[in-house]
Amino acid sequence: MQRIDTSFDMRLDSKDRDPDGASPTLRNYHMALWSKALPSGKRFDLVDTKRRAYLYHSSDLGVFYLSSDSIIHTYHSWPSMQPVLCQLPDSEKKHFLHLAYTIGAFIVFPGDQVERQHTINQARGISKVIRD
């Protein structure tokens, strides 16, 4: 089993791009964490070799395209949050941002569109109700 470094900051290997698409460590950790035997005994193994797919599974269980996204709000780029954030020490903000880019802050989502509708993750990213 692959060792997961829960303190690794995914920004470190994403070359100043969004770790969800650019961090090989994040992708490898997702594959290690989410590839497993299911309660039925069947294997759900993810691969990253399918063209235009972040992670992919195909078997008699079905075809699954998965994407990754952060589930942590940092609010650091939201102008409306600056009056709150400016009250925090820089060291605390830096520490929180580090935590927001570790494996515990990311999750996989179904990544394929159905009937040209938004994926779950796309919908949560544009909905003002969710405010993500």
Give the whole-angstrom CA distance, residue 95 versus residue 118: 33
- The per-residue pLDDT for 116 is 78
pLDDT tens-digit series, residues 20-78: 999 999 999 999 999 999 999 999 999 999 998 999 999 999 999 999 988 888 888 88
Which domain range does residue 30 map to?
A: 10-126
Helix or strand (DSSP H, E) at 95: helix 90-99
> Please, what is the Cα angle at 51 between 47 and 57, to 5 degrees?
30
pLDDT tens-digit series, residues 90-114: 999 999 999 999 999 999 988 777 6
The number of distinct structural domains making up the chain is 1
The structure's pTM equals: 0.85
Is residue 26 situated within a structural domain? yes
